[in-house]
Structures are given as C-alpha cells and as structure tokens.
Amino acid sequence: MADIIQLLPDHVANQIAAGEVVQRPASVVKELLENAIDAGATTITLVIKDAGKTLVQVTDNGCGMSPVDARLSFERHATSKIRSAEDLFNLHTKGFRGEALASIAAIAHVELKTRTENEDIGTKLSIEGSEVTEQVSEVVPIGTTISVKNLFYNIPARRNFLKSNPVETRHIIDEFHRVALAHPKVSFSMLHNGSDVFNLPQSNLRQRIVNIFGSKTNEKLVPVEEETEIVKVDGFVLKPQFARKSRGEQFFFVNDRFIKSPYLHHAVNSAFEGLIKDGMQPGYFLFLEVDPKSIDINIHPTKTEIKFDDEHSIYAMLRATVKHSLGQFSIAPVLDFNKESGFDTPYNYSKKNPVAPTIEVDREFNPFQKEPRQGNIQFPYKREKGGSWESLYVGLKSETTETLVDLHNIEFESEEVTGSLFSSEETQENQTTFQLQNKYIISPIKSGLMVIHQHLAHQRVLYEEILKNITVQEGVSQQLLFPLKLQFSKSDIELISGLKEQLEHTGFVFSEQEEDWLQVDGIPVSMTEGRVQEVLTKLISDIKEEVPDASFSLNDLLAKSLAKSLAIKTGTSLNLEEQIHLVHQLFACKEPSVSPENKPVLVTLDVTDLDKRFM
C-alpha cells in the first residue's frame, strides 16, 4: 500500500493556522496592537479603511527590529518572548507563540517598515501570501509600521463570511478598548476612513475610562482596591443604579491581559446581590495581578481565557473586595447598632454654621403681682370672670338656623343596590372588554373568552407601525420646545450615526452631533420626552447583542427594540376606550396572534373548557 500521509506545504499550514488566529479584521488589530505594546511603545496609531477589509495599519514608536529580525518575525513559531517550555509559565508579554504575523502574512498583503534606535537606515519588507516579494533598506522613523491590506484576498470563502462594515467596525473598536484600557500610560489614536475616532492621551486609569466612555462615566465609578498574597485587585465598578439588562461595560484584566471569565463574573454579580434587580448586569473595570506561575494562558487560540491554580480563593477575594468597596463608599446599606441616632445632625442643618444662643431676661418681672406680665405673648381671647359656656356661642345665631327644616323633603345620597359586579361606568351597553390585574384584557367571543396580554399586544401594534414608517419613510415627529442634549460614548455615537436615517423615518430629529453627545430636536409621537435616553440606550444594547448584518434585519431589530421600549407596561390601568382601541389595533395587524419575538399575544378559552371546571 502506498504512503498517503504527507507534510503540508508552509503556505497551507499558515492558512490553517490563520483560521485560529485571524477570524476577522478585529483579530489583526488585536495582534498588531499587542505587538506594539510588547515593543515598549508609548505612542500607537491605528488606521483602518473599510472596517479593516482594505487596510489595517498600526504605527508605534517602540524598539523596532533589525533586518534579520524583521525577516524572521514572519516565520512560524519564531519569537523573542520564550526560550524553553518553562518560560510558558512565566510570561510577562502579550504574544509568545510566534504565529500571529505568519498567519496574517498568509492571507493578506503585508508591508513592514521598521528601524531601531541604533541604526540610521531602516528596513522595508513586503509579503504576499507568505512569499517575500521585496526587502530593501529605507529611511523610516524609529519604531515599526505594519500595514495589512486586502485581508483574505486569497481565501474568498473566508472573506464572504465577514459581516457588514458597521458590524466589523464595532468588533475593531471593542479590541481597541481592551488594549487601551489595559495600558493607560500609552497614548492611543484611531482613524477610520480618514476621520478621527479616538484620541487618547497618556493618563491614569480613571481618565482613560472617561476618555473612552464619556465624561458622565466619572460620576458612576466606585474605586476598588485590595492586595493579598494571592491576588492584587484594582480598578472600578459602576454604581448599582447604572446596572443594565445587557452586558456592556464589563472588563476583566489579568496581568494587563483582557480575559473572559464567567466564574469571576459570577463573583462580581454576587457582590451586587441585593443592590440590583434580577436580570440586571453590573459594569466593572477590574484588574487582577497574580503570579504568572499560577496561571496558564496557553489554553485558547486567542488567549482570552486562562486557567487559575486556585480559582476558589480568587473568587472569594474578588467578591469580598467588591462588596467592601460598595459598603465603604456608602453604596451598600449599612446597619450600625452601636450608633446613637439622636446625635445625627438634621439634613437641613448639616451645611449651616453654628450660631450662639441668645438669652433674654424680663427685668420687670415680679412674681408677687396678681397678674404677671406675659412679655410679647398675646392670647387670642381673654376668659371673662363669671362667664359661662353659653357665652362662647354668642353671635352664632342667624336667620338660617332659626328657619324650620322640612324633614320629609330631605334627599340622602346612597348607592343604588344592583346585582351587577361592576360599577356604573363599566356597565354600559357597549361594554365589550374588561381588564384583569392591569395585565390582561378579557373580551367575550361567541365560543367563550379571549384573553389578550396588553404589553405584548401593544408591542405587535407598534412593531408593525414602526416597520412601516421605516419602509415607507412616513414617520410622524413631535418637535421639542427645548431640545435634548444626550451623552453617549464615542462608539455608541458612531452606532447611532449608522442608524440615523432609519431613526429619522420613525420620527426622531437630530440636529447637532459631537464626539460624545448628540442633540435631539424631535421625537416620535408615541414617545415621551423623559424616555428618550432610556429608549436609545436600550436600542444600542440590543443592536450590540444581536449584531445584525443585512439592512432588512437591521430595520427589523430597530423596530423590535423601539416597540418593546415604547409599549405600555404590565400594571398600567387602561380605561374602557383604551382597551377597545388596543383590541381593534391588534386585529388590524398582519400577525395579531404573536408578538415581534414570537410569543403568544392572546389565548382563547372555549365555553366547554369552562363547563368542565364545574363538573
């Protein structure tokens, strides 16, 4: 039998490795930014075009590479980070396996320009599909510039699996956030299609968080700090009132490396127990520093998951630390049974300056006088000596009290006794619906009863109305007398900009926009002014979770999110007219029986089902 096993060519092996390392343009951004950090850069610039599909370029002022190192850096398993297997458990750098650049070069056109501080002339290297096409000396600044062009040009199937530009851009921004938060001492900037997206100067951690997520984030942060023999915990958590239903600003870093850990996330959630509602997610920026020998980083291709030697102790430490910070900064309720509440200063007097009391003495006071003087005190009346109780009623008689009252003509107010279970307002001839528990609308039908869930029914009505307005572009808007100025993070502002056209078709009117705020001049008719921030925040979180691709699915998701936010809530009391109107609107819909999320809206109860209950 002939031999059938053979070694793969290098370019095929590199393309297979690229499937693990490079999943999308954001993977290239992550690897290049981490390489720049490992090179000791203090200033890093990221430039992307067409969401990274056309160009991803990272420029740093790090140590640079010699001509030999520049060539070897694109070979598989070539690295300067480790020398032996023992070094895998004493890592202080980001990359260490030497696969990133080789994998990127296998599926893109790569151009490298680099120079060290000791050399006058740098090196320019061009690679296409793992093949070096050019290596020449060139005058370049100190540091390294890597340009990755035409990603997946030689693997069309992988390129077809990429999402739309807004979706891929959001993934790139997420990776940028993770690296920028872990290194506040490094200056970062990011440009997309020639426009500035981020410009982050060197700062501390709090300033870096504020620069990324907006100035209003500063008032949300609660510092967390604790150091033990096992782990050192540092960072911030968001106050409980800013918890959200979706996972948004949640970042774990272990030795300045971003990780995902459901186990540690549960520790933070348990620390917030009793402070946030069920289903809400707290926000946090937590940095854990542990002994590199106590963790294993090399268990996941993207190195976003790590293994701890003593997970239980770190869980307990993290939970206790977060809980202590929430209590220390008066976020969590504290009971002190040894404190005397009588010594508490009233709130109205807490900021007033103390005033010395004044003493007033009545020098003319004589205790032996029969009628002592009362100073400035004046009584409303004097009791006359010898008076009786009848004197109190002098002058109260009038002509009306002296007239006789005919007791036979007096009418008394009373409720009419009827056999009806409902009040007179509800017992109208056209009464067709009743509300149960401020949650369900009950309407009689020929075969029995129909029970409608009012919240889901209103969702269906609004969903079809909003989707129609987006498609036909006939949204009705109500102008605001005083425009609203809403603040969001830069990434959220960019996301809303991508939805601006669809939102305007639903009734929104946007006038001005800056890096971290936008001005709303008009809102849909069905929305109140106080809910604009809440609705847009919910919309942003829904879009981040769903990650839609096609424009139709984006419009569908937009309609679903707005309908869910604007629909009447469970517990809202509806009068008879509102109930009937909602029922008529529901049955005017194309799909009245299910909500936009395919939940049943109504249930019918047959008379025979009711009869069986009494048998």
pLDDT at 230: 87
Tokens coding 156: 């069309």
Q: Quick one: average pLDDT of 175-180?
A: 92
Q: Which pLDDT value is given to residue 423?
A: 45
Percent of the chain scoring above 90 in pLDDT = 22
pLDDT value at position 533?
A: 85
Provide mean pLDDT across the span 337-341.
Answer: 56
| 533-555 per-position pLDDT tens digit | 888 888 887 777 765 555 556 78
Instruction: Write the burial class of residue 324 (CB in 10 Å: 0-12 exposed, 13-18 middle, 19+ buried).
Output: middle
Task: Say which residues have a Cβ less than 8 Å from residue 114's Cβ, sequence separation at least 6.
Answer: 64, 65, 70, 122, 123, 140, 143, 144, 145
Q: Out of 123-137, 279-293, 396-410, 461-475, pick the least confident.
A: 396-410
CB of 440 closer than 8 Å to CB of 572: no
Q: Burial-class residue 576 by CB neighbours within 10 Å (0-12, 13-18, 19+).
A: middle
State the pLDDT at residue 54: 92
Given a cut of 60, whether residue 424 has pLDDT beyond it is no
Please state which CATH number belongs to domain 449-586: 3.30.1370.100
DSSP structure string for 62-83: S----HHHHHHTTSTT--SS-S
Nearest C-alpha neighbor of 201 from the set 211, 192, 193: 211
Task: Give the angle 261-267-273 at the CA atoms, nearest 5°.
Answer: 135
387/391 Cα distance (integer angstroms): 7
Mean pLDDT of 193-201: 88
**Position 476 pLDDT exceeds 50:** yes
- Determine contact, residues 55/192, Cβ cutoff 8 Å: no
First to last CA, the chain: 80
8 Cβ contact partners less than 8 Å away, ≥ 6 residues apart? 16
Overall average pLDDT of the 115-125 stretch:
91
The arithmetic mean of pLDDT across residues 505-533, rounded, is 84
Residue 444 pLDDT: 85
Question: What are the pLDDT digits (tens) for 185-194?
Answer: 999 999 998 8
When pLDDT is averaged across residues 436-440 and rounded to a whole number, the result is 89
pLDDT for residue 453: 93
**CA-only gyration radius of the chain, Å:** 36
pLDDT of residue 2: 67
pLDDT for 485: 87
Q: How confident is the model at residue 514 (pLDDT cuts 50, 70, 90)?
A: confident
Q: What angle do CA 147, 148, 150 make, to 5 degrees?
A: 135
Residue 542: closest CA among 324, 166, 246: 246
Indicate the SS3 state at residue 514: coil
Q: Is the pLDDT of residue 330 over 80?
A: no
Rounded to an integer, what distance in angstroms lies between the CA atom of residue 302 and that of residue 92? 16
What letter represents residue 95's amino acid? Answer: G
Dist CA 503 CA 359 (whole Å): 69
Is the pTM higher than 0.75?
Answer: no
The Cα 328–Cα 321 span in angstroms is: 10
The confidence score (pLDDT) of residue 422 equals 47
Average pLDDT rounded to a whole number, residues 489-504: 81
Full strand arrangement of the beta sheet holding 250-254: 221-227, 232-238, 284-289, 250-254, 257-259
Q: Where are the domains of the chain?
A: 10-200, 205-328, 449-586
Q: Residue 496 burial by CB count (10 A; 0-12/13-18/19+): exposed, middle or buried?
A: buried
Question: According to the model, what pLDDT value does residue 492 have?
Answer: 81
Q: Which of 158-167, 190-199, 341-350, 457-466 has the lowest mean pLDDT?
A: 341-350
Q: 6-20, 79-93, 149-163: lowest mean pLDDT where? A: 79-93
CATH of domain 205-328: 3.30.230.10
Mean per-residue pLDDT, 79-102? 62
Q: Is 2 exposed, middle or buried (0-12, 13-18, 19+ CB in 10 A)?
A: exposed
b (16+ CB within 10 A) / e for 528-544: eeeebeebbbbbbbbbb
Q: Check residue 410 and give its pLDDT.
A: 63
Mean pLDDT of 234-259: 87
The reported pLDDT for the residue numbered 59 is 94
Calculate the average pLDDT of the chain: 80
Q: How confident is the model at residue 426 (pLDDT cuts 50, 70, 90)?
A: very low
Specify the range with the lowest mean pLDDT, choosing from 19-23, 111-115, 598-602: 19-23
Comparing 425 with 249, which gets the higher pLDDT? 249
Res 428: pLDDT: 45
Is the pLDDT score of 515 beyond 90? no
10-200 in CATH: which number? 3.30.565.10
Q: Answer whether 205-328 and 449-586 agree in fold.
A: no
Dump pLDDT digits (tens) for 556-601.
888 888 888 888 988 888 888 888 889 899 989 988 999 988 889 9
